Structure 1
Amino acid sequence: MTHRFSRRGFLAASAAVIGTGATAQTANTTELEGDISTGLKRNISSFRSLDWQPYFSNLRNGAVLVDIQSRALHFWSEDQSIYKLYPTSVPLTDDLTRTGRTSITRKVEGPSWAPTPAMKIRNPEWPDFVPPGPDNPLGTHALYLSWTYYRIHGTHDTRKIGRRSSNGCIGLYNEQIAELYELTKVGTQVLLI
């Protein structure tokens, strides 16, 4: 019996092999949170630079735009000389997500963390308080917003970036929140869409 290989057959076989590898990688995720890893994918398809004018009337004190769908944070400096685009983690579910206009009201390097009352109900095993350090879920820096309990902060768990993985806050890599921390000020306007 002779086997004839056609270009079409070769391409179909190659696609099958490539698809099998991707499935195996997805199945062997390193996520510890079972609920988070199931069916969640990183979203980079909409990760693109944006112009500030459709979202803000001015850049007084600088501006931060968080796009929940693309899981991206955009920053524009007041004088328009600096534009930054960062990947983020976003809230797990729509009911944990808040959108609209707010501003940075406080900046903290080495933040401490305490779960909100709602978090404690959902996760009674969580500690009541976590001091600054490598176990702190707020990472190395936090930008507090005018909305109670909402922050833009770092994370030591880098697997969360690019995913729906937070309890309401917006997370960045520690290196990037440190940079954003230096670029923003109390009064920087923030819009979550």
Structure 2
Amino acid sequence: MEKSSPDPVHEPGIDLVLGHASSGKSLWAERLAFGMDWPLTYVATARVADEEMRAKVARHVERRGPDWQLIEEETDLAGRCAAMPVQSTVLVDCATMWLTNLMMDGADWQSPAEAWLAAMQDAPARFVVVSNDVGGGVTPDNALARAFQRAQGELNQRLAQAADRAFLVTAGLAQRLR
């Protein structure tokens, strides 16, 4: 992977990378993290339930290359993030899948979100969090989808408040929001 990232930061903190589906946000976030020159950890939150998702995961793994330690974590991001070592870069991909997992399990997401944010703020690592911006489309036609859209919007707002920097990626191009 090439090291082309905007202004790498070499101190603990949080970067938020937002974008729509297939906007290039994961690749852009990987480049951002790679440019920090600290040991790299990739925290994958997706549940791999079908061949399409399995193929997507395989493409991401191949693209990242061997420089990343992989941790698969569907729900306990607070625990995983609290355990990160000093001077490490942690890419969490993605907050949207994490939220989906909790909502599909019928679990509360707000308390785990607060614990996750606190863990990232207290940890001696640099976090790059990928999340989908799902509010730009039409209002969904069913209650579960509307509840998810509202929850994702609220989670993104909380992540943005906690982040040192926030970026919006469209067509692979990033715009710094904060």
TM-score (norm 1): 0.23
Between structure 1 and structure 2, the one with the greater Rg is 1
